């Protein structure tokens, strides 16, 4: 019998969890920041599901929920928000539609990660950690040594050193600010895992396949050169990003990375070798232990990126290319491909409810961002000097306009709606999914790994960013924390970052040892119930990040941050109370008969498309009625369409700071 928990705390806690996490993400940014709301929301859904079989998977919910939301964390979403402020109605319409796409991808992958933890069989869920470890190992190497590798490569080719942030477009591996390197490393890791899982049986065949492909690729390149076809072919698919008539072509970027131009003479055999290796793995690869899911996601990510922003852009040069928000990055294409790959795998492998939850979450999340943005625009209208010339009115509302509306509404506010987009379809899934049988405790180490990932990896890759803020030189040469400090008694010097890493390493070792002890003999402090264990995991993660977020803001605190940090703190208190006071073992609701999510998915898609059309017209109409064709004064004026579009007038150039 399936019990579904539909009490209001079961909906409110996921909403608050994602709101808190998304507000904190605004301070930390990108994939690392997006993991926190994903973990907290998934835990909230799990613990308030009323299903003991789900609660026994609390660590998996946290980890896969975090990974799901991390996919969309790489998307730069400020330009589409700016489109709606522009006063240019075609750009405004486009902006609301683009926000739907971004919200769909964020919430869709977040819903997929959360539903996967609930739906997959325990043995297969534990097995996927093996290929994940191969991917994580390569990503960790990239995280710590990518800058060193890039610097070595630049020295080898005699180029000036690039900057990892303000001038990252100079990086020879920069490709439309996308996630192609991460996807490629994941693919390499999966191939290495497949060889390892087969204990390298037949691995020797990879050499002739790759060599044969390299020879064929070399021959094709030389033949194209001899026939004079190579240059015209490249002219069809390679083009600068921006308008060459307005900018120095030497400073412009192209739709392919610099490393491809550096290695142009070798690209034939290199592409051929990769194709030969692909044929080998297509023929002999087993892709067991869940690696097939990861392979679908990775190949989808690379395929959509290559077909869309890279190749189709050549046909749409006068439109700025097949790009969502040029000149900003195109990781959205990576995420769209990952979503498609995920959905294909789930359909093929009897996990269709995961894809259905992802679609429902995506549609609801897609509507969330335009709604939140419009609420922010309404708040911004009051006393706006663009609307009124009355000095007294402008002065009266000046403090109102200095409020951090972006954080309050389009971060924490939209987080509430994102949480709803996860809570509702997961409640429907809980009502329709058969209970998991009591399986043997397979892969117990994977639950410990998921706890370690949640408490140590997520917190580290976020909190380490605080060090830069603490040590940054302020006006007058002041630093909140010295950039270099001597060890007590011993006297040797280390950077603040090194000290932070040492302390965090000790925390990680302590966590690992305690988890190992828990596996051998339960610790007295760890509750016996899965509900209690999940509550402990949630509370520890929540308050580490709430305190760490405040520490990040403290060194440059101003009155605008009062409301931002206060709302996060108060919501964290409310969430903690709801979790501990309302989460009870005996909490159950009436049983619901198991049935498919297909009808609900179809209705959600149809209603979502209709709502998107109506809201886009309504929101654009209201903003146009108030401001006309004037920019409303929020941020810089971003344009996607027309002769003054950002991609044409303000492309990313090598000699200008990245924005």
- Give 30-78 as a DSSP string: HHHHHHHHHHHHHHHHHHTSS-HHHHTTHHHHHHHHHHHHHHHTT---H
Cis peptide before 320 (omega within 30 of 0): no
- List residues bridging with 252 in a β-sheet: 653
Per-residue pLDDT of 36-87, as tens digits, reads: 999 999 999 999 998 988 999 999 999 999 999 999 888 888 899 999 999 9
pLDDT at 151 over 90: no
pTM here is 0.94
Contact 15, 39 (CB under 8 A): no
**Burial annotation 585-594 (CB, 10 A radius, 16+ → b, else e):** eebeeeebee
- The Cα 6–Cα 428 span in angstroms is 10
The confidence score (pLDDT) of residue 586 equals: 63
pLDDT at 630 over 50: yes
The confidence score (pLDDT) of residue 162 equals: 66
The confidence score (pLDDT) of residue 441 equals: 63
Contact 72, 28 (CB under 8 A): no
State residue 240 phi and psi, 5-degree precision. Answer: -75, 155
The confidence score (pLDDT) of residue 584 equals: 78
- The Cα 541–Cα 59 span in angstroms is 12
pLDDT at 196 over 70: yes
CB atoms within 10 A of CB 265: 9
The confidence score (pLDDT) of residue 1 equals: 35
Contact 642, 88 (CB under 8 A): yes
pLDDT at 525 over 60: yes
- The Cα 150–Cα 154 span in angstroms is 6
- List residues bridging with 228 in a β-sheet: none
The confidence score (pLDDT) of residue 3 equals: 43
For the chain, state the CA radius of gyration: 26
Burial classification of residue 46, based on how many CB atoms lie within 10 Å of its CB (0-12 exposed, 13-18 middle, 19 or more buried): buried
Helices (H), 48-179: 52-55, 58-72, 78-84, 89-119, 122-127, 129-156
- The Cα 492–Cα 483 span in angstroms is 14
Per-residue pLDDT of 377-433, as tens digits, reads: 998 888 888 888 888 888 888 888 888 888 888 899 999 999 999 999 999 999 888
């Amino acid at each position: 019998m399936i019990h579904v928990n539909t009490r209001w705390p079961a909906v409110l806690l996921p909403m608050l969890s994602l709101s808190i996490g998304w507000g904190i993400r605004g301070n930390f940014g990108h994939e690392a920041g997006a993991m926190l709301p994903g973990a907290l929301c998934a835990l909230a859904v799990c613990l308030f599901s009323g299903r003991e079989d789900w609660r026994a998977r609390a660590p998996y919910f946290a980890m896969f929920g975090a990974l799901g939301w991390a996919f969309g964390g790489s998307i730069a979403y400020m330009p589409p928000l700016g489109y709606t402020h522009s006063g240019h109605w075609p750009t405004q319409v486009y902006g609301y539609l683009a926000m739907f796409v971004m919200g769909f991808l964020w919430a869709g992958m977040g819903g997929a990660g959360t539903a996967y933890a609930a739906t997959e069989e325990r043995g297969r869920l534990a097995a996927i950690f093996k290929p994940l470890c191969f991917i994580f190992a390569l990503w960790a190497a990239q995280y710590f040594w990518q800058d060193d590798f890039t610097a070595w490569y630049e020295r080898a080719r005699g180029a000036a050193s690039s900057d990892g942030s303000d001038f990252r477009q100079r990086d020879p591996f920069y490709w439309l600010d996308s996630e192609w390197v991460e996807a490629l490393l994941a693919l390499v890791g999966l191939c290495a895992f497949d060889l390892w899982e087969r204990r390298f049986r037949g691995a020797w065949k990879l050499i002739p396949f790759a060599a044969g492909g390299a020879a064929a690729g070399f021959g094709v390149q030389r033949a194209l050169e001899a026939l004079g076809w190579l240059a015209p072919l490249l002219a069809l698919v390679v083009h600068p990003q921006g308008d060459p008539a307005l900018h120095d072509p030497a400073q412009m970027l192209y739709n392919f990375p610099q490393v491809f131009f550096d290695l142009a003479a070798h690209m034939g055999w290199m592409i051929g070798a990769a194709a030969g290796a692909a044929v080998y793995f297509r023929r002999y690869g087993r892709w067991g232990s869940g690696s097939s899911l990861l392979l679908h996601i990775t190949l989808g990510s690379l395929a959509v990126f290559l077909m869309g922003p890279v190749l189709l852009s050549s046909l749409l040069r006068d439109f700025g290319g097949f790009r969502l928000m040029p000149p900003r990055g195109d990781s959205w294409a990576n995420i769209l491909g990952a979503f498609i790959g995920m959905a294909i795998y789930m359909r093929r492998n009897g996990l269709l409810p995961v894809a259905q939850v992802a679609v429902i979450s995506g549609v609801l999340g897609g509507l969330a961002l335009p709604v939140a943005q419009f609420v922010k625009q309404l708040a911004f209208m009051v006393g706006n000097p663009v609307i009124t010339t009355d000095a007294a009115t402008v002065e009266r509302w000046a403090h109102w306009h200095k409020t951090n509306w972006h954080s309050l509404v389009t971060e924490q506010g939209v987080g509430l709606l994102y949480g709803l987009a996860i809570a509702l379809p997961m409640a429907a899934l809980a009502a329709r999914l058969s209970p998991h049988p009591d399986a043997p405790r397979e892969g117990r180490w994977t639950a410990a790994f998921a706890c370690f990932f949640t408490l140590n990896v997520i917190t580290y890759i976020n909190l380490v960013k605080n060090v830069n803020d603490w040590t940054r030189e302020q006006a007058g040469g002041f630093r909140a924390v010295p950039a270099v400090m001597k060890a007590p008694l011993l006297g040797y010097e280390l950077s603040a970052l090194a000290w932070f890493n040492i302390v965090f390493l000790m925390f990680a070792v302590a966590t690992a040892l305690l988890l190992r002890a828990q596996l051998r003999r339960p610790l007295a402090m760890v509750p016996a119930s899965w509900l209690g264990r999940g509550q402990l995991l949630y509370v520890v993660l929540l308050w580490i990040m709430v305190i760490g977020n405040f520490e990040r803001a403290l060194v440059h605190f101003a009155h605008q941050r009062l409301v931002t940090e206060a709302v996060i703190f108060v919501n964290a208190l409310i969430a903690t109370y709801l979790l501990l006071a309302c989460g009870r073992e005996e909490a159950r609701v009436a049983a619901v008969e198991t049935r498919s999510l297909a009808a609900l998915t179809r209705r959600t898609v149809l209603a979502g498309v209709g709502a998107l059309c109506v809201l886009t017209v309504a929101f654009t109409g209201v903003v146009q009625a108030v401001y006309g064709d004037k920019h409303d004064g929020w941020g810089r004026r971003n344009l996607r369409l027309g002769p003054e579009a950002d991609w044409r007038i303000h492309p990313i150039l090598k000699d200008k700071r990245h924005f």
